[in-house]
C-alpha cells in the first residue's frame, strides 16, 4: 500500500521544527522512519504533516560522562552500539542494542525514536525503564524531563504531547557494585523478541541488596518488577505482574514458560557481572 497524502517539512533549526509541530494539527515527527514509514504505508498512521528532524543540528551525540550516557535524538542505534565508552559506562546499552533489529535498520533507526514509539516489544524502552533513565523533551512552551516511569502510557503510546520533540535520552551509569544482564528469545536473531529479559542488581559485600527485572513482549508497556524479596522464586513474582498474551508469534503459555526459564538465568548473569566488575 501507499501512504495517504501528507505535507513534508524539513526544518533546519529546532525552533522551526517546534513551531511547525505546534502550528499543524496532526503533524508528526519523522526521525529514522523505521517504525513510522511502515505505519504510513499500511495506513495505520495518517499524519497531516511530517516534520523531518534529520536536518536539525546538535542532536546526533552519544555523550558519556560520570553520570551516564546522553543520547541525542538523531543518534542511530548503530552509533550508540559502536560507542565503547557508552558500553563501559552503561553495559546494558550494548547488551540490548545488539538484539535490536538488523544492521540496516540500526543504521537508520534512532534510539530516542524507539523510546518515543513506546513499543513494549522493543528493547530500549524497557532498558530505559529498568535503568530509571529519562527523556528531555522540547516544545514551543519550553522544556521538561520525563522520567522513564512516566514515559510509557499504553501500547505504542508515550506521554509526549503532539507538539513535543524528544531531544535527548539519559541512561544512568552503572554504579559500583551493580551488575546487569540481558537475554532474549526470538525466532531469528534481529526479529522482535518473543520474550526479552534484563536484570539490574545492586550488591554490597557480595550480597544482593536490590534486584529488578525488566521484560520485553509480555505486557502492553515495558514492565519492571522488583524481585529483591523474591530471589528464591523471582519468575513467579514477575509473572504475577505480567500479562503474557497470545499472538501470531507465540502463545501466552509459551511466553510464561520463557519468563520462568529466563528470569533466574538473567538474574544469575547480572550477579556474576557485578562480581566480575569488582575483580
Candidates 6-14, 29-37, 248-256, 266-274 — which segment interacts with ligand FAD by CB under 6 A? 29-37
Q: Which parts of 109-128 interact with ligand FAD (CB under 6 A)? A: 109-110, 112-114, 116-117, 122-124
Are 59 and 53 spatial neighbours (Cβ–Cβ below 8 Å)? yes
CB of 179 to ligand FAD, least distance (A): 23
The count of residues interacting with ligand FAD (CB under 6 A) is 28
**How far, in Å, CA of 30 to CA of 77, rounded?**
16
CA distances from 266 to 101, 159, 261 (A): 21, 30, 9
Q: Which is nearer to ligand FAD, 73 or 180 (CB)?
A: 73
Of all helices (H) and strands (E), which one includes residue 254?
Answer: helix 252-278
**31 part of the interface to ligand FAD, by CB under 6 A:** yes
Candidates 62-70, 139-147, 158-166, 270-278 — which segment interacts with ligand FAD by CB under 6 A? 158-166
When binding is defined by CB under 6 A, the residue of 30, 92, 148, 225 that contacts ligand FAD is 30
When binding is defined by CB under 6 A, the residue of 35, 49, 183, 263 that contacts ligand FAD is 35
**96 part of the interface to ligand FAD, by CB under 6 A:** no
When binding is defined by CB under 6 A, the residue of 105, 185, 252, 256 that contacts ligand FAD is 105
**82 C-beta neighbours (distance < 10 Å), count:** 14
The contact pattern for ligand FAD, residues 168-207, with x = CB under 6 A and - = no contact, is ------------------------x---------------
CB of 203 to ligand FAD, least distance (A): 29
**How far, in Å, CA of 37 to CA of 199, rounded?**
32
Cell of 104: 540496516
Cell of 239: 509473572
Strand ranges in the chain using DSSP code E only, listed in sequence order: 7-9, 27-30, 49-52, 62-65, 68-72, 134-139, 142-147, 152-154, 157-158, 165-172, 178-185, 195-204, 207-216, 223-226
Residue ranges in contact with ligand FAD by CB under 6 A: 28-36, 38, 73, 100-101, 105, 109-110, 112-114, 116-117, 122-124, 160, 165-166, 192
Amino acid at each position: 500500500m501507499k501512504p495517504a497524502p501528507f505535507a513534508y517539512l524539513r526544518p533546519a533549526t529546532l525552533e522551526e521544527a517546534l513551531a511547525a509541530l505546534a502550528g499543524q494539527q496532526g503533524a508528526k515527527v519523522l526521525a529514522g522512519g523505521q517504525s513510522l514509514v511502515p505505519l504510513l504505508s499500511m495506513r495505520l498512521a495518517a499524519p497531516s504533516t511530517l516534520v523531518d528532524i534529520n536536518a536539525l543540528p546538535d542532536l546526533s551525540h552519544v555523550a558519556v560522562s560520570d553520570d551516564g550516557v546522553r543520547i541525542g535524538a538523531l543518534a542511530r542505534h548503530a552509533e550508540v552500539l559502536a560507542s565503547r565508552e557508552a558500553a563501559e559506562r552503561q553495559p546494558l546499552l550494548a547488551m540490548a542494542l545488539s538484539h535490536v533489529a538488523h544492521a540496516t535498520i540500526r543504521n537508520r533507526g534512532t534510539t530516542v525514536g524507539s523510546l518515543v514509539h513506546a513499543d513494549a516489544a522493543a528493547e530500549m524502552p524497557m532498558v530505559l525503564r529498568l535503568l530509571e533513565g529519562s527523556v528531555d523533551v522540547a516544545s514551543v512552551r519550553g522544556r521538561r524531563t520525563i522520567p522513564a516511569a512516566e514515559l510509557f502510557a499504553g501500547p505504542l503510546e508515550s506521554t509526549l504531547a503532539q507538539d513535543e520533540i524528544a531531544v535527548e535520552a539519559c541512561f544512568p551509569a552503572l554504579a559500583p557494585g551493580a551488575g546487569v544482564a540481558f537475554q532474549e528469545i526470538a525466532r531469528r536473531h534481529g526479529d522482535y523478541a518473543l520474550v526479552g529479559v534484563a536484570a539490574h542488581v545492586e550488591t554490597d559485600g557480595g550480597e544482593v541488596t536490590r534486584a529488578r527485572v525488566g521484560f520485553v513482549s509480555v505486557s502492553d508497556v515495558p514492565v519492571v518488577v522488583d524481585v529483591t524479596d523474591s530471589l528464591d522464586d523471582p519468575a513467579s513474582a514477575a509473572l504475577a505482574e505480567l500479562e503474557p498474551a497470545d499472538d501470531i508469534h507465540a502463545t501466552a503459555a509459551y511466553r510464561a514458560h520463557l519468563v520462568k526459564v529466563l528470569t533466574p538465568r538473567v538474574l544469575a548473569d547480572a550477579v556474576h557481572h557485578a562480581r566480575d566488575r569488582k575483580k
